[in-house]
Structure 1
Amino acid sequence: MLNNIHTFFNAFGATVIVPVMIFIIALFLKVKPKKAMMCALYAGVGLTGFSWIINEFTPVVTKIVRQMVDNTGIKLPIVDIGWQAGSLASFGSPVGLTFFVFGLIAEFILFAVGVTKVFMPSNLWNNFGFMIWGTLAFYVTHNWWISLGLSFFMLLYTLLLAEIQADRWSRYYKIENTTVCAAQNIVQTVPAILLDPLWNMLGFNKANLTPAAFKNKFGVFGEPTTLGAILGIVIGILGNLKDLATIKAWGQIFQFAIQLSAVMTIFPLVTNVFSKAFTPLAKQIDQTRKQNANQQPEVDPVHDKKRWFLAVDDGVGYGESATIISGIILIPIMVVIAFLLPGNKTLPVVDLISLPFMVESIVAITDGNILKVIANGVIWFSLGLYAASWLGSIYTGAISQYGAAIPAGIVLVTSFNLMARPLNALVFAAFISQNPLWISLCIIVYLVLLYILRKYRSQIWIYLNKMAAKNVHAKEDLKSSPKD
């Protein structure tokens, strides 16, 4: 049965299965069939657009990064080959495939009984983010129940973090009642919340570093299209330091500048199409919420205990200006850090293009303060490099066993997007120890946090909104737009 399900999903792929799910959910929410059909088509078109752009741009970025690496002469033993190999192995392992089927059922139940206020099945394709950890655990322990339990636990705390940041995410990315819920990207909520008071003490909140500020200060040179070209030239030069006297090098530099400029220009357009798949659903959720609660439209939804959120693909936020600019700036920074970090064995390469996905929660919580996003990213992803280094041999063995090919000439591989996760790695370590004490501690911490969230959700959201409002640009936005 599991093999048949695997074959079915492989045959149709995310660009078909996700729109079908969106159509069903839209009808369930009582969206008119014509509008539900358009939501489904927009989802398919958006996913296809993302795939085309990233698939075309990834080899270009990878080539530049490899040239940066070659210029340094430093070799690191664990090479990032991208998240795709991990996804393939997840669907090829018995534990991963079991979770894909029964995890979907669990997501319905968790939402129905109120454990979570996030409806995860709308983003079922990102379930491989839970499946990969169960796959790795099964490779190490050969314990079916521990491994499957780990995947389910990853789901539980991902849903918890998704709900904590839900109000901020939906406010910042301007799609009501939605949030991202990908296991590989949601954990950035933790450093974004914990470190924000520190950044404010250091005055980072006074730094007006946002796309709007760039545009106001620099005019045409502050536009995302122009910034993309400038960043492209800088990254291109870093990748050609030894060959700057050649025409070939400058040809590549300016080609990369145009290519990055194109991504910065086109991706927001695709994002706008993709967001159209969820906007009618989000509005319908809000309308139903108000009707059921017999509320007036002016009532602040922050205080509504019955408010729930639709989990959306993190592609919705990728093209937002502060998100994509922060992610692109972090590309050369993380390459340099990988070489300078004592004890690090991981070389991030292919998944560097995923950095805009990886910073979305940070962007939302810091209200698009690019300086804070980069500072958070440097600290958290540096810790993530250590996590990926520790997991290198386990990850390589697991994906080799469950169907992913290792590129020739590479001994150990990883995925910077999937494995550079300090919190995930700690939970993984607790479960593969098979020590009841450590596993119980993980569960107790989760239950305490869940209790706090259920009891103080409104206060948590209000606190995060107050923290976001402390940024200088947020205050200026409030002055210029009182309604917001």
Structure 2
Amino acid sequence: MGNLIHDIINLGPSVVLPIVIFILALIMRLPVSKAFRAAVIIGVGFVGINLVIGLLGGVVGPAAQQMVQHSGVHLNILDVGWPSTAAIAYGSAVGALAIPVGLAVDLLMLIFGLTTTLDIDFWNYWHIAFAGAIVTIVTTNIGYGILAEVIAMIIVLTLADWSQPWVKRYFGYDNISFPHGTSTPYFVMALILDWVFDKIPGFNKLDASPESLQKRFGIFGDSMIMGLIFGLFIGVLAGESVSSILTLGITVAAVMVILPRVVAILMEGLMPVADGASELLQKRFPGRKIYIGMDTAILVGAPTTIASSVILVPITLGLAFILPGNRTLPFIDLATIPFILALMTPVFKGNVVRTIVGGTIAMIPTLYIATALSPIMTLAARQVGFKFPAGAVDITSLVDGGNVLPWIIREAGQFRAIGLTALLVLAVVFAYVVRRFVTTRQDAQ
């Protein structure tokens, strides 16, 4: 089982998800040719998304680091990024159990009516594996680690159900939800912040959606031109050469144009399968709407998400240098900021200003949690034989090392059986309450 999980982690989502989609399409009795084509298109879409996001992080990240390196502050915990975190999670003692445990929890919740999501994004089960890994280290008990995975899965599925109406209204996706361990906790934060923003005079009247900006500012409100301006602005602040500034501007503009189109390619393959799967599941669960759980990579192409992510790269680095007590140096996971914002954007209805301000506020606890979880993550990395970057002694990540959900589960794990059992009960109650809320909301629509 452990070797199988390692093989899966090495394949990555661009290969694993198309295989799952192909099998699912065959179960739904789609013609083999159509099932195969849909699976390949989805794989191509994921490769394209990863390439574009990698391009964004590769040009914006170094420029942003240039902006803050003169501060003289030294941060000694290195953000090694989500790929390393996933490898550490799946390489842990409970990592191999994450997929069967998570799938079993999902099926039980479906049977008992506690969720409306069937999560087929198996590769991203590493998020619950990470929760299990850190609790196993805290308690030195694999059983508690498995319990942590159960709790994480319940909460992530519940948040996927809760966020689906916002996804449907903003993106128009009717048959899919997003039980993604990175994005879902920030959805709750966005709900709280949006409520606060609505109470601030003046700020609550500010309409800053991409559509309104383009209408108000003409060509300068166009998402491509906004990307160009943001890129040039960061390049100037970083003190780059003229050629580097121009290259940065054009690159960010390209990302603003290309990423939504790459997402459209992915959706071309996904939607027929998702629609068919939803119909099949409704036959198995009559009278209930069942959603197919997917990766929030599908959502990161929103212009608001891209534009806000570009601005948040230097902001996040700046926060890292000025926040007292923070020791985390953001690095690899700067490229994952679009995933952090993916479920915040629909809550803010695409308002660029709210998304930037909300994202800035969200990064403050993210950096502190990344610092707090660094000792456990460093120990976990050593236990699985993770190769540390040159000069790195302590490591962390913004994903999931800076995520509030693993931190809450870790805190409960410190009280062992009492803490984890209490959190499990709260998670089940939370799932029940949200399920009733979602059902009532959908019936009223």
TM superposition score normalised by structure 1: 0.85
| 1:447 to 2:428 alignment | yes
The aligned counterpart of 1:193 is: 191
CA apart distance, 1:212: 0.9
The aligned counterpart of 2:147 is: 149
Count of residue pairs the alignment pairs up: 444
The aligned counterpart of 2:416 is: 434
Q: Is the Cα contact below 8 Å between 2:105 and 2:153 reproduced in 1? A: no
The aligned counterpart of 2:273 is: 281
Aligned partner letter, 2:218: G
| 1:71 to 2:70 alignment | yes
CA distance 1:260–1:348, shift in 2 (3 Å)? same
Q: 2:403 aligns with which of 404, 407, 421?
A: 421
Q: Is the Cα contact below 8 Å between 2:114 and 2:432 reproduced in 1? A: no
Query: 1:337-357 deviations in whole A, cap 9, x for unaligned?
Result: 222222222222221121111
CA apart distance, 1:253: 1.8
Aligned partner letter, 1:98: L
Range that drifts further, 255-264 or 55-64: 55-64
CA distance 1:462–1:329, shift in 2 (3 Å)? farther
Q: 1:135 aligns with which of 133, 136, 150?
A: 133
| 1:339 to 2:348 alignment | no
CA apart distance, 1:382: 0.6
For residues 145-294 of structure 1, the aligned pairs below 5 Å read 145-203=143-201, 204-240=203-239, 249-284=241-276
CA distance 1:255–1:35, shift in 2 (3 Å)? same
CA distance 1:11–1:442, shift in 2 (3 Å)? closer
CA distance 1:87–1:78, shift in 2 (3 Å)? same
| 1:385 to 2:367 alignment | yes
For residues 365-404 of structure 1, the aligned pairs below 5 Å read 365-404=347-386
Range that drifts further, 339-348 or 84-93: 339-348
The aligned counterpart of 2:2 is: 2
Structure 1 distance, partners of 2:44, 2:245, is 31
CA apart distance, 1:408: 1.3
Aligned partner letter, 1:360: A
CA distance 1:396–1:292, shift in 2 (3 Å)? closer
SS at match of 1:310: strand
CA distance 1:6–1:284, shift in 2 (3 Å)? closer
CA apart distance, 1:40: 0.9
Unmatched runs of 5 consecutive residues or more in structure 2: none
Structure 1 distance, partners of 2:324, 2:432, is 39
Structure 1 distance, partners of 2:385, 2:269, is 33
Structure 1 distance, partners of 2:159, 2:173, is 18
Range that drifts further, 139-148 or 154-163: 139-148
Structure 2 distance, partners of 1:175, 1:277, is 14
Structure 1 distance, partners of 2:375, 2:44, is 38
CA apart distance, 1:413: 1.6
Unmatched runs of 5 consecutive residues or more in structure 1: 241-247, 295-304, 466-484
Q: Is the Cα contact below 8 Å between 1:169 and 1:361 reproduced in 2? A: yes
Q: Is the Cα contact below 8 Å between 2:138 and 2:410 reproduced in 1? A: no
The aligned counterpart of 1:320 is: 302
Aligned partner letter, 2:268: K
% identity of equivalent residues: 28
What is the RMSD of the two structures over their aligned residues, measured on CA atoms?
Answer: 2.5
Q: Is the Cα contact below 8 Å between 1:90 and 1:97 reproduced in 2? A: no
CA apart distance, 1:113: 4.2
CA distance 1:92–1:427, shift in 2 (3 Å)? closer
Structure 2 distance, partners of 1:421, 1:12, is 25
CA distance 1:168–1:125, shift in 2 (3 Å)? same
SS at match of 1:406: coil
Structure 1 distance, partners of 2:143, 2:371, is 26
| 1:329 to 2:311 alignment | yes
CA apart distance, 1:99: 1.6
SS at match of 1:41: helix
CA apart distance, 1:313: 1.4
CA apart distance, 1:150: 0.7
Q: Is the Cα contact below 8 Å between 2:154 and 2:428 reproduced in 1? A: no
Structure 2 distance, partners of 1:450, 1:21, is 26
Q: Is the Cα contact below 8 Å between 1:134 and 1:151 reproduced in 2? A: yes
Q: Is the Cα contact below 8 Å between 2:368 and 2:402 reproduced in 1? A: yes
SS at match of 1:255: helix
CA apart distance, 1:130: 1.1
CA apart distance, 1:334: 1.6
Structure 1 distance, partners of 2:28, 2:315, is 44
CA apart distance, 1:107: 3.1
Aligned partner letter, 1:265: V
CA distance 1:205–1:287, shift in 2 (3 Å)? farther
CA distance 1:143–1:343, shift in 2 (3 Å)? same
Query: 1:382-415 deviations in whole A, cap 9, x for unaligned?
Result: 1121111111121122123213221112222211
Q: Is the Cα contact below 8 Å between 1:176 and 1:286 reproduced in 2? A: no
Q: Is the Cα contact below 8 Å between 2:176 and 2:294 reproduced in 1? A: yes
Structure 1 distance, partners of 2:282, 2:137, is 48
TM superposition score normalised by structure 2: 0.92
CA distance 1:289–1:48, shift in 2 (3 Å)? closer
Structure 1 distance, partners of 2:400, 2:63, is 22
